[in-house]
Amino acid sequence: MMMMRARVGWRLKVLSWWGCSWLGIFGGFGAAGYLYKDQVNAFLNQFLTLIEVLLLLLQLPATATALATTMAPCYC
């Protein structure tokens, strides 16, 4: 009976530690994303521009709809 209580106590400690760790990780990313949303948005816009330029240089369709229409089957 004592061993079972010790295991339960250990499991609760591990579970609470993991729960706090996950909360800290995801909460930290969420807080950083909220606080730095303008900077993240600016970075993503610059990255999108880079991708569009690379796709233009490679002569590939830049949007998903253009890609979908070029890959659509023809039922002639």
Domain range for 25: 7-60
- CA separation, residue 36 to residues 18, 39, 46 (Å): 27, 5, 16
| Mean pLDDT of the 20-35 span | 91
The whole model's pTM is what?
0.45
- What's the pLDDT tens digit per position in 51-71? 888 888 887 555 555 555 555
For residue 47, being part of any structural domain is answered with yes
Q: Is 54 inside a domain boundary?
A: yes
Query: Does residue 31 register a pLDDT over 60?
Result: yes
Residue 7 predicted with pLDDT over 90: no
Residue 69: inside a domain: no
SS3 58: coil
Number of domains in the chain: 1
